[in-house]
């Protein structure tokens, strides 16, 4: 990271794009509960009082496919309900909204490259994936995205506890750090916008959000002399969720990863089973980068992997270990230690399980509230 100001944002589980991610991953988990080897590519769109869930799927038993399809409507409504939406006027009505389910079979052309005739699991698509770790925070994440996630998680915690009963599910945060000598030294600005009930006035909202959301997360010792807080800077934010903005799966990939502090590959995660290297190889790249930093080999590390559809071995593997001069040495060691084929990644990280719904909000990396295998240090 260079010197100067750097910002990252996060969004709450009630943000329409995150709702779409969560629905897609809830459907994925439902398939994996019935068939750990299911092939899933699930997309969700929410617009006002309509939810469309579509995609391509393959299970070993037809009855498993039909069972998930039959329960998909109820699964979607439960996600909306659990997120905290209650009415069409302020977001979406989980009981009365229209839900369209459009499930198709996986293309045979794609499947022949993944479940190959020789028994080898090929990559589910071509693409490039990045993983990153740094020693800026205990969770080995860049500080701006780590604090941005903490803010929206605190908003959800306060909302669900009933402490601030006028809070609604949709929210966004942004944190700006000042870097000196490549290190985060202080927070220059915090932005938090939260949906709220109509009866709360803006002055009361700003005071209570500051007291119960921002102050518990942003230490006074990290605040710069010119520190600024922008709380609901546009004022009223009553209409939120799909009523206020269309939501789409895969539209918050920078929130999902490193907040812009590291490159992102071409693909999103949510709704994709582990045969899709967009997801599994990105998890593996994070796992590898985290090993490098945790072992003290570098203060930060960027990993890139690239794959061709139907081919098991990566077509490229890059390690950038923070100007240590050990890139090739570390890359050789990691290649000797870990199998980077899709099957090897799935086996190493134990990915054929319904563990994905909880990753679809507040980031896929640096989570201390979930036992995620790609976050372990060996």
pLDDT at 125: 79
Burial of 234 (0-12, 13-18, 19+ CB in 10 A): exposed
Least confident range of 67-76, 106-115, 144-153, 259-268: 106-115
* Other Cβ atoms closer than 10 A to 161: 11
Please state, in angstroms and rounded to a whole number, the distance separating the CA atoms of residues 190 and 80.
28
Please give the structure tokens belonging to residue 10: 């996060």
DSSP 145: H
Tell me the residue length of the chain: 378
> ∠ at Cα 202 (199, 205), nearest 5°?
80
- pLDDT tens digit string along 126-141? 899 999 999 999 999 9
> ∠ at Cα 102 (101, 108), nearest 5°?
145
- pLDDT tens digit string along 192-217? 999 999 999 999 999 999 999 999 99
Q: What is the model's pTM?
A: 0.94
Q: Under a CB-based contact definition with an 8 Å cutoff, are residues 130 and 302 in contact? A: yes
Q: pLDDT grade, residue 121 (50/70/90)?
A: confident
Please state, in angstroms and rounded to a whole number, the distance separating the CA atoms of residues 3 and 179.
5
> ∠ at Cα 245 (354, 82), nearest 5°?
40
Which parts of 78-126 are beta strand (E)? 98-105
- pLDDT tens digit string along 280-314? 999 999 999 999 999 999 999 999 999 998 889 99
């Amino acid at each position: 990271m260079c010197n100067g100001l750097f910002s990252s944002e996060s969004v709450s589980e009630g943000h329409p794009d995150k709702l779409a991610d969560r629905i897609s991953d809830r459907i994925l988990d439902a398939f994996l509960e019935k068939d750990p080897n299911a092939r899933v590519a699930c997309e969700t769109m929410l617009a006002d009082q309509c939810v469309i869930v579509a995609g391509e799927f393959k299970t070993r038993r037809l009855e498993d496919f039909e069972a998930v399809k039959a329960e998909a409507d109820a699964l979607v409504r439960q996600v909306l309900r659990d997120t905290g939406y209650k009415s069409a006027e302020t977001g979406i009505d989980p009981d009365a909204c229209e839900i369209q389910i459009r499930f198709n079979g996986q293309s045979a052309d794609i499947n022949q490259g993944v479940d190959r005739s020789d028994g080898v699991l090929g990559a589910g698509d071509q693409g490039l994936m990045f993983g990153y770790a740094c020693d800026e925070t205990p969770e080995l994440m860049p500080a701006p995205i780590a604090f941005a996630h903490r803010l929206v998680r605190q908003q959800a915690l306060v909302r669900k506890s009933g402490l601030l009963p006028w809070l609604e599910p949709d929210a966004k945060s942004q944190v700006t750090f000042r870097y000196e000598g490549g290190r985060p030294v202080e927070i220059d600005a915090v932005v938090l916008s939260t949906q709220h009930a109509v009866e709360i006035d803006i002055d009361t909202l700003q005071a209570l959000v500051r007291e119960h959301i921002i102050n518990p997360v942003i230490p006074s010792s990290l605040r710069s002399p010119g520190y600024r807080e922008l709380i609901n800077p546009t004022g009223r934010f009553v209409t939120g969720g799909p009523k206020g903005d269309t939501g789409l799966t895969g539209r918050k990939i920078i929130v999902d990863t490193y907040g812009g502090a590291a490159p992102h590959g071409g693909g999103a995660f949510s709704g994709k089973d582990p045969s899709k290297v967009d997801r599994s190889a990105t998890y593996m790249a994070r796992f590898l980068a985290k090993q490098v930093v945790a072992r003290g080999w570098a203060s930060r590390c960027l990993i890139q992997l690239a794959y061709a559809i139907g081919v098991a071995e990566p077509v490229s593997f890059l390690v950038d270990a923070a100007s240590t001069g050990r890139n090739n040495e570390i890359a050789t060691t990691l290649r000797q230690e870990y199998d980077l084929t899709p099957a090897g990644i799935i086996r190493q990280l134990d990915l054929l399980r319904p563990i994905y719904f909880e990753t679809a909000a507040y980031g896929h990396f640096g989570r201390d509230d979930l036992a995620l295998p790609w976050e372990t240090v060996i």
